[in-house]
Amino acid sequence: MNTQVKLVLTGIIAFAAGGLLVFYLAGHPAKPAGAKGAAAGPVQLKHGASGETILTLDAETQDRIGLKAENPVAVQWQPEVKGYGSVIDPALLSAAVADLESARTTAEASGKEYDRLKILAAQDNVSVRALEAAKATATHDELAFQSTLHKFALDWGQSLASGNDREKTLAEVVSGQAALVRIDLSPGEALASAPATARIVALTDETKPVNGTLCSALAGVHPQTQGQVFFFLVRDPQLTPGSAVTGFLKISGEPTTGVVVPAGAVLRYEGKGWVFVQTGTNDFTRAEISLDRPAENGWFVAGNLTATNRVVVVGAQTVLSAELSSGGFNTGERD
């Protein structure tokens, strides 16, 4: 089952759960705190000092929806630069290597033939015309090889062009043991040195980053994109050729203190990311978070959340449904 199908099923289940809660609340509509009339229902809405919406769920309702809150894990986050790219089709690298090796073999063969004829010419066993023809062929083939090598370096970087690990890399990529990923940085985002590693994230599963090891890098910037280009080798068979990825390249600098919020706690609504923070035994406040730093099974958040906060990790979608049904959601409010 692919990720998109899982997301759809998860949404359906969450929507159904929210629907059940809304159905239950139909006979117990949410009331603003301090409202006159009958006793307060299981869900109430009120506003805090900063104008934020506070959703109050009684203990029975929390048990009914299986609500669970946890403290996010505090972490130190190393600075990164974001780039975008894709998984290279092994056939492209294979064809480039084949062209390079063919040019090399041809140049070596004609060079050896010229050397052989020079020995014979010294013994007056070959004509000057044949020797000159062999020299011209050897020179032509060597220039053709150097041109092919130069183009290979422009397309794949000097490390792969040098040949130290080219055959090994090609074998791993063609066999499916590893994937070769190209990451392009934005124009003007220049790194003084190539990063040794990067976190590679497939767009179909942003909370499952995999580690990549630097394989090669283009010299300077790419003439078309005007950005630096890096190639990383990723030993993950789930990365399919042609798939789009995001790369987070580790750079030097002071780490940032923050927390990792579990993926199950994160909600996407109105084009933004949200979590519910438990501010009291029965009180929950929605907070906006940035989704630009995916982590293992979650997201790194710095600034508005700390490890002392209690974040709803089970039942968040149902809580959002309750707030929506009560008319308390406002993306313009201060969280």
CATH number of 223's domain: 2.40.30.170
Q: Is residue 56, in this structure, part of any structural domain at all?
A: yes
The candidate with the shortest Cα–Cα distance to 133, out of 118, 147, 148, is 118
Q: Is residue 330, in this structure, part of any structural domain at all?
A: no
User: How many domains in the chain?
Assistant: 3
Q: Is residue 202, in this structure, part of any structural domain at all?
A: yes
Count of CB atoms situated within 10 Å of the CB of 6: 12
pLDDT at 50 over 70: yes
Q: Is residue 332, in this structure, part of any structural domain at all?
A: no
Same domain, 176 and 74: no
Count of CB atoms situated within 10 Å of the CB of 63: 10
- CA pair distance 321, 327, nearest whole angstrom: 10
Same domain, 244 and 211: yes
Same domain, 138 and 270: no
Q: What is the CATH number of the domain that holds 137?
A: 1.10.287
Same domain, 16 and 53: yes
Q: Is residue 187, in this structure, part of any structural domain at all?
A: yes
pLDDT at 270 over 60: yes
Domain that holds residue 185: 80-88+169-250
- CA pair distance 320, 19, nearest whole angstrom: 11
Q: Is residue 334, in this structure, part of any structural domain at all?
A: no
Same domain, 84 and 232: yes
Q: Which two tokens stand for residue 313?
A: 């990790």
The candidate with the shortest Cα–Cα distance to 273, out of 318, 307, 320, is 320
Same domain, 151 and 188: no
Q: What is the CATH number of the domain that holds 21?
A: 2.40.420.20
Same domain, 187 and 118: no
- pLDDT given at position 303: 84
Same domain, 246 and 173: yes
Same domain, 207 and 304: no
Same domain, 155 and 44: no
Secondary structure string (H, E, C) spanning 141-159? HHHHHHHHHHHHHHHHCHH
pLDDT at 23 over 50: no
pLDDT at 35 over 70: no
* Residue ending a domain, choose from 230, 250, 270: 250
Same domain, 122 and 185: no
Residue range 111-167, pLDDT digits in tens:
999 999 999 988 888 899 999 999 999 999 999 999 999 999 999 998 888 877 788
What's the Cα-to-Cα distance from 81 to each of 99, 179, 196, rounded to whole Å? 34, 21, 13
Chain-centroid distance of CA 311 in Å reads 24
Q: Is residue 130, in this structure, part of any structural domain at all?
A: yes
Q: Is residue 333, in this structure, part of any structural domain at all?
A: no
Mean pLDDT of 168-195: 89
pTM over 0.75: no
- Highest mean pLDDT: which range of 72-86, 104-118, 193-207, 283-297: 104-118
Same domain, 43 and 55: yes
